[in-house]
Structure 1
Amino acid sequence: MLRPNTNRPPELKSARELALMREAGKLVARALKICRDLARPGVKTIEIDQAVEAFYAKHGAIPLFKGYPGKTPFPAVTCLSVNEQVVHGIPGQRVLKEGDLLKVDTACKLNGWCADRAITVPIGAVSPEKARLLKVGEETLQIAIDLLPKRKWWSQVASEMQKHVEQAGFSVVTSYVGHGIGRIMHENPQVPNYVDRETRKADFRLEPGLTLAVEPMVNMRRPEVDTLGDQWTVVTRDRLASVHVEHTLALTANGVTIITSDEGAFDDEPKPPAPESPPPAAAPAQ
């Protein structure tokens, strides 16, 4: 979920605060695994949202999307956007079908700290062009992860992200940007996935303690988008497919920590009971 914000100085986090954010990030990673497991042909998007809402409630986490203010409050704990829907899709009775691209975005607060992540899930077999679009979107996010500790200014990272997308023949959405994150979901600074005159004016230095929700949105052709009559769902103007991927990232003196990483997020999950061993075979009669 994205909202441009003002450009006061970023709020740098301590190691202790990053550890608390990581606990929220683990929950978000686990919520997204639930979504991946459910995302298949014949499933309604509302069913996925309901499963995530129940998961957050079970773990005492506050879902950050439900009730988010707008012309109408956002009604769900996930944004589920299909094909030409870029972001902010409202879960409902839509049935997923083979070949769809489903964008899943969700965030929660745990013990006062937030984490935010998005994935794009192919439903069954997708077309080669959709598969390439998804690959480029994921590569673009990885570029940000790789370059954050190697550059001095965010614009230097964003320009490489934009270049990768455009060299592949796709386009970067410029109407929405990522954001700082911490005690609230939307902190400073704004985190664009592209560079132009305006974003250069709001550039920021990369320094330890930064926590950023980096979320490239990549369209199949043109970058322009529209908002539907529900006041939330953003679609490509040309109605071609789009992908959206996101991680909450922390820049530290030792590199980048992926706050919403899958790695280690499932270590404390209850393990299913081991299957009982079959009883030993009776000895043959003598």
Structure 2
Amino acid sequence: MAIALRKNDEIAKLRTANQIVGATLELLASHTKPGMTLKELDAMGEEYIRSQGAKPSFKGLYGFPSAVCTSVNDVIIHGIPSDYALQAGDIVGFDVGTQKNGYFGDAAITVGVGTISSEDEALIACAKDTLYFAIDIIKDGMRFKELSYEMERFILARGFVPLRGFCGHGIGKKPHEEPEIPNYLDGPNAKAGPKIKNGMVFCLEPMICQKEGTSKILANGWDVVSTDGLKGSHYEHTVAIINGRAEILSIA
């Protein structure tokens, strides 16, 4: 399947959907305190998304039961909100999707609850810094595999490893479109595969493990952890390629 090239009016609609995502993540981060339950945060996020005339696109997607993915500590992505009350020292990832006027938004952050360890600060910083590093080096004509390779190198240089089996992706009129964008080089040749072009819109989402990048899905069918059993982190933005560079759409 060909990778879509979006026109200016489409990018504007994608920006609107993504700005709601960015604002929702800011709201959730500001209320991430000891004692807050994951279900309370999920409800808060859903209420805000709907107040903006958008739909929470994750709710019901592939059978996911909630509006916000809430991934605590060793759960790296796709955590289902529960009655768990956050405790000081936890880290929690929020992944939010929206749909408005037929177009989708998607982004994620990982935040600490109260005071967290320096090790957890470094873990979160790796995901965030990898994301912004990748956004900065994107240029028209670069291959997606080259981008994946550079993200992997960045993560490894920080002393962490990328989660395998999950990836970034295109986005537009569907929440997940071509291409798939792993956070590691999949295959032997970074100079192979499709090139990044003006008009493409896609999600980059570094998912960081401490020791082992092998993924494991827990018994609820959603929570994704590393086989090392240690904490992980996740950051994501939706970007559009405009004038040869990546512009972040998922900022409030």
- TM-score, L = length of structure 2: 0.96
Give 1:1-286 correspondences, 5 Å limit.
Answer: 8-69=1-62, 73-149=63-139, 152-197=142-187, 203-261=193-251, 265=252
Deviation, structure 1 residue 68: 1.2
Q: Distance in 1 between matches of 2:218 and 2:56?
A: 24
Q: Distance in 2 between matches of 1:151 and 1:36?
A: 36
Q: Distance in 2 between matches of 1:196 and 1:54?
A: 39
Moved over 3 A (4+): 198-202
Amino acid at match of 1:61: A
Residues 20-67 of structure 1: per-residue CA shift (max 9 Å, x gap): 111111111111111011111111000000011111222221111111
Rate the CA distance shift 1:143–1:254 in 2: closer, same or farther, 3 A.
same
Task: Check the 8 A contact 1:143/1:160 in 2, yes or no.
Answer: no
Figure out how many residues of one structure are paired with residues of the other and give that number. 252
Amino acid at match of 1:164: F
Deviation, structure 1 residue 254: 5.0
Rate the CA distance shift 1:207–1:230 in 2: closer, same or farther, 3 A.
same
Residue 276 of structure 1 aligns with which residue?
A: none
Q: Distance in 2 between matches of 1:217 and 1:203?
A: 22
Secondary structure class of the residue paired with 2:53: coil
5+ long unaligned stretches in structure 1:
1-7, 266-286
Task: Check the 8 A contact 1:114/1:184 in 2, yes or no.
Answer: yes
Amino acid at match of 1:18: I
Amino acid at match of 1:33: E
User: Alpha carbon RMSD of aligned pairs, Å?
Assistant: 1.5
Q: Percent identity?
A: 33
5+ long unaligned stretches in structure 2:
none
Q: Distance in 2 between matches of 1:16 and 1:36?
A: 31
Q: Highest CA radius of gyration, 1 or 2?
A: 1
Rate the CA distance shift 1:112–1:199 in 2: closer, same or farther, 3 A.
farther
Deviation, structure 1 residue 255: 2.1
Deviation, structure 1 residue 202: 7.3
Q: Distance in 2 between matches of 1:39 and 1:199?
A: 42
Task: Check the 8 A contact 2:95/2:108 in 1, yes or no.
Answer: yes
